[in-house]
Amino acid sequence: MSLVKWIDFQSLGDERGSLVAVEVGMDKAVPFDIKRVYYIYHTEKKVSRGYHAHKKLKQVAICVAGKCRMVLDDGKKREEVWLDSPTKGLVIEDMTWREMHDFSDDCVLLVLASEHYDESDYIRDYEEFKKLNGNKL
């Protein structure tokens, strides 16, 4: 099964421009209650970010401006996608290793998160991640 799961947001555009509304709920786009929102911007050239997985946290990443390349890895396979549209959300499940590369100068990456910030939820060592996720796969 692919690690790449997209949410397609409807663009509520009119002659003035575009608008996307992100809603949470059973029949809505985002499959968890949002406890935290953060955004990454002004990323320096050649910088890559991420290099971690989360034990519990689920996220949806939306590139609301510009673009960046996201790598997802479950310890067995790696897949990569470009985030380059404000109407596309990438669902990042728990226990998924992620890396972000090739940020454009104008990239603003919005992230919706299912939990508050908790450093103890991070797995920052790839070998440890592979060991932990090996049991699940």
Of these residues, 52, 54, 101, 116, which one is catalytic? 52
Please identify which residue in 7, 22, 36, 102 interacts with ligand TYD, judged by CB under 6 A: 36
Q: Does 39 bind ligand TYD (CB under 6 A)?
A: no
Chain residues 97-136 in contact with ligand TYD, contact rule CB under 6 A: 117
Q: Does 38 bind ligand TYD (CB under 6 A)?
A: yes
**Alpha-carbon gap, residue 34 to 27, rounded angstroms:** 15
DSSP state of 10: P
Q: To the nearest whole angstrom, how small is the minimum distance from the Cβ of residue 75 to ligand TYD?
A: 18
Q: Does the annotation mark 54 as catalytic?
A: no
Residues 6+ apart with CB under 8 A from 61: 70, 83, 89, 90, 92, 109, 110, 111, 112
